[in-house]
Amino acid sequence: MRIGLDARYATDHFPGIGRYTLGLAQGLAELGLVQRLLLIVDQNVAVGRYNLAALARLPGVELVPVKVGPFSLQQQVVLPLVARHLGLDLLHSPYYVKPYVGLPCPSLVTIFDLNGWRFPHSLSWRGRIFYRATMALAVRTAALVITGSASAQADLAHVYRLPAERMLVTPLATERRFQPQEPAVIASMRERYELPPSYVLYIGSDKPHKNLERLVCAWGQVVAAGAHSGMPLVLAGHATGGAERVRQRVSTQQLDAYVRFLPNVADSDLPALYSGATIFAFPSYYEGFGLPPLEAMACGTPVLCANATSLPEVVGDAALTVDPFSTHALAEGLIKLLNNPQLRRDLSARGLQRASTFSWRRTAMATMAAYEALVDCRL
Taken in order of first residue, the domains within the chain and their CATH numbers are: 2-173+359-378 (3.40.50.2000), 183-355 (3.40.50.2000)
Torsion angle of C-alpha atoms 378, 168, 238, 322, degrees rounded to 10: 180
C-alpha 7/C-alpha 79 separation (Å) is: 12
Within 10 A of 119 (CB to CB), how many other CB atoms are there?
14
pLDDT digits (tens, 9 = 90+) for 86-100: 999 999 999 999 999
Across 35-159, the runs of DSSP E, i.e. the strands, are 36-42, 61-66, 90-93, 107-110, 144-147
Question: What residue type is 55 in one-letter code?
Answer: L
pLDDT of residue 16: 85
Which residues contact residue 80 at a Cβ distance below 8 angstroms, ignoring those fewer than 6 apart? 99, 101, 102, 103, 104
Closest CA to 90 of 158, 26, 161, 38: 38
Helix (H, G, I), strand (E, B) or coil at 259: strand
Q: Which residues of the chain have pLDDT under 70?
A: 46-48, 240-242, 378-379
- Residue 378: the pLDDT is 65
- Name the residue among 198, 191, 233 with its Cα closest to residue 214: 233
pLDDT at 377: 79
3-class secondary structure, 261: strand
C-alpha 304/C-alpha 240 separation (Å) is 23
- For residue 142, the 8-state DSSP code is -
Specify whether the CB–CB gap between 25 and 359 falls below 8 A. no
The predicted-structure confidence for 178-215, as pLDDT tens digits, reads as follows 999 999 999 999 999 999 999 999 999 888 899 999 99
Instruction: Specify the pTM.
Output: 0.93
Q: Which of 149, 181, 185 is nearest to 167 (CA)?
A: 149
**Nearest to 27, CA basis, from 63, 64, 57, 55:** 55
The secondary structure of 33-61 as a DSSP string is --SEEEEEEETTSPP-SS-HHHHTTSTTE
Question: In this structure, are residues 63 and 51 in contact, taking their beta carbons and an 8 Å threshold?
Answer: no
Q: What is the pLDDT of residue 1?
A: 87
- Could you give phi then psi for residue 279, rounded to 5 degrees? -145, 145
Calpha distance 8→94 (Å, rounded): 9
- d(C-alpha 193, C-alpha 161), whole Å: 48
Q: What is the pLDDT of residue 43?
A: 84
Q: Letter for the amino acid at 341?
A: P
The DSSP code sequence of 345-377 is: HHHHHHHHHHHTT--HHHHHHHHHHHHHHHHHH
> CA 287, CA 310: separation in Å to the nearest integer?
6
